[in-house]
Amino acid sequence: MKNIAVIGAGTMGNGIAHVFAQNNFKVNLIDISETALEKAIATITKNLDRLIAKEKISEAIKNNTLSNLNTFTSITEGVKHIDLVVEAATENEALKLKIFKQIDEEAPAEAILATNTSSISITKIAAATSRPKQVIGMHFMNPVPIMKLVEIIRGYNTSNEVTKTIMELSKKLHKDPVEVHDYPGFVANRILMPMLNEAIETLYNGVAGVKEIDTVMKLGMAHPMGPLQLADFIGLDVCLSILNVMYNGFKNPKYAPCPLLVNMVQAGKLGVKSGEGFYDYAESRKAEKISKQFI
């Protein structure tokens, strides 16, 4: 397995492409937006320069990484000769099902199809293809170049061989893969999202302010980021989407998103990416400074 296609050039997609390319895989980064692809390559270059400054990689590794990357605006062209597709599009079920139907039609018959979904059923995604045994979840953590964990989620029909292949592949990326079962939210978000939602409920109920809630969790629980700041960093729309998937999947009211979260998303206050969430990121340099803490 040497040729990888990554679909989606956003935060997760460019991070996944970066990690594969830095570990000597040939990567086709695919996005319908040429602007998004240009931004992704610029981000990868900037992150590689940061690693050079920290003396973690050499200039030669940077150049080799960038030479391993090719960009495409067409899925048809981008997945023609690949061994693995990793889909990292927006956390939207209808969109993912549409993408998987297309890559199933266009990618080589022996290719493995993986999704970076953080909550949506792998079994349901696999059902949109003619190769459910070759569909698996590869849930990377943000920021991808730094975070070690990859949740490996096997759907109902995912084969043992494919699971073993993806577990071994993840180790070649210097990641620590953990196999989990296909239930809404998997493990990471099933535990994380209710905590973030409870922090939002705590704010909504007037128990304490934003900074106070985050300070309690950072100083009292040794969390590197407070839950409200983390929600901003993830994206409040993404948090809402994941909570809705779990709420609809389990029909358990403990996963129901807080009304404050719903209202903020409807108002377009999505966190770092929109310039405002629980904190104000109106100054782009302020948002960049926060992001740099984790890359």
Residues marked active site are found at 118, 139, 151, 189
Question: Mapping DSSP to helix (H, G, I), strand (E, B) and coil, where does residue 17 land?
Answer: helix
**What percent of the residues of the chain are helix, what percent strand, and what percent coil, each to the nearest 5?**
55, 15, 35
> Torsion-angle region of residue 140: left (phi > 0), alpha (psi -120 to 50) or beta?
beta
Helices (H), 87-235: 93-106, 122-126, 160-172, 188-204, 210-221, 227-234
**CA–CA separation, 65 vs 19, rounded Å?**
9
Tokens representing 69? 């990357």
Contacts of 56 (CB under 8 A, 6+ apart): none
Tokens representing 253? 């009211």
